[in-house]
A and B are shown apart, each in its own frame.
Chain A
Amino acid sequence: MPEPDAPPADKAKKPPNPHPVRRAAGQTLMVIGAGLLLHSCRPACRPAPGAPPRAAAAAQAGAFAGVVPPLEPGFVVDKAGAFSPAEHAALTNEIAALEAATGGGQMGVAVFTTLSGVPAADAALRIARAWGLGRAGVDDGALLLIATEDREVRLEIGLGWEGAIPDARAGDAIRAITPDLKAGDWGAAALGAVRQVRAAALGEPAPKRPAPEKKGETPIGAWGLFSLLAGFLLWAGTEPDPPPGRSSGPAPRSAGDLPSPPPFRPPPRPSGGFRGGGGGRFGGGGAGGRF
């Protein structure tokens, strides 16, 4: 930021200031000014917190070693390669449907091979807080964390959902998906967990079996509504902002947030740029255990 500013100022000042003392004073002032500018801008110029950890996380593929990987569009971060492309797509659809049905609630799914000795509750809280799942102020977020080799699972519930999903209900959800976890059917387990959270958040009775009753129906309807809404927002958002130079600002940044693209990308989140979690807070509610 200060780089582009400094050179023109330098050029502009030189010609009208031939006096050596004044020039020296001017230069000193400019150095101080640039320093101050640099200092004040430091937090903004610092690389996104997700950037350096990405390299570290990539070093030990599949393991969680205390470094939270960046959130991916679709809210499914599968470091263990547990989901097939179809499962991944079904899961992101179900998560989008949950968001639509609850009016903005966000649920994330994180899968690792091992948590490297970090207690599951700690890891889940750290990830959920880093991602900021749920809307700010409403705090309607949830996170499912699975460690496939550690055989540990944790369902973390955001502060705003603790009333609708008390720990006992979260425990019920975990118990409901435990058979799938035991069988190593990660896709069914995660899908079941999202459905459990959705039902609990909406105050519906817990879904008994992850039966594929109207599986194809709801997500498509929700998606239609979702993309319609998002399309409108996009349209309304771009209308009053015509300068072409500005539009290059946010788009590459959000694209840069994405880690290496997953093998299969579900229908892109309709929001134009991926904004990540909404800033929901977590206080340690939820349930978990070994399977």
Chain B
Amino acid sequence: MKKHGTILLVVLAALALGGCNLYNGLVEKSEGADAAWSDINTMLQRRADLVPNLVSTVKGYASHEKEVFENVAEARAKLAGAKTPSEAAEADAALSGALGRLLAIAEAYPELKANENFLKLQDELAGTENRIAVARKDYNAMVKDYNASIRRLPASLVAGPLGFEKKDYFEPPAGSAVQIAPTVAF
């Protein structure tokens, strides 16, 4: 009898320990994904901050291309209003498209292309886009890992009640009009 009690105690202790490990593991993965998401957000913000400068520089040479400027402003506003990762990804892709057209204008203006400020802005923009791409890859990898682990047994039994929910990928929703644009080629 006493022996059985000890065994039961050991089993319970093992279960409790395993449960703690499981929980801590999920928390860690969730935090990792959230941190990666805030990296993306920082970069999106940084890119949005670059846009007005870029637009005003291009305007100095090509003020009549109103439609392009409006598109950029609209896409930027949409990005600022995005809530979920997939909304943000969609808005970001739209902004990429609009910026691509803005930079294409520059091709027609040799003085603009040689403008030092414009060159620097292009560098910053390209660098920020590259960082977004890197952060997206890192974030999606973490989300994939996290989503897989909350669906795997035995975590799947407790993940729901404990408040671990599936996380969104940073990707435009399937069937959306915009896809992740290829990085702007200079």
Chain A residues near B (Cβ < 8 Å): 119, 121, 125, 166-168, 170-172, 175, 283-287, 289
Contact = CB atoms under 8 A, between A and B. Distances in A.
Contact of B133 (A168, A171, A175, A284): A284
**Top-5 shortest CB links A-B:** A167-B127, A171-B123, A284-B134, A168-B120, A284-B131
B124 A167 contact: yes
Interface of B: 39, 119-124, 126-128, 130-135, 183, 186
Contact of B123 (A119, A121, A168, A284): A168
B123 to A, nearest CB: 3
Contacts of A175: 119
B80 to A, nearest CB: 22
B131 A283 contact: yes
Given A284-B130, A287-B127, A171 B135 contact: no
B126 A167 contact: yes
A155 to B, nearest CB: 10
* B126, B130, B132 pick with most chain A CB within 10 angstroms: B130
Contacts of A171: 119-120, 122-123
B39 A287 contact: no
B137 to A, nearest CB: 9
24 contacts: A119-B183, A121-B183, A125-B134, A166-B124, A167-B126, A167-B127, A168-B119, A168-B120, A168-B121, A168-B124, A171-B119, A172-B120, A175-B119, A283-B39, A283-B131, A284-B131, A284-B135, A285-B127, A285-B130, A285-B131, A286-B127, A286-B130, A287-B123, A289-B186
Contacts of A170: 123, 127
Contacts of B135: 283-284
B120 A121 contact: no
Contacts of A166: 124, 127
Nearest to B186: A289
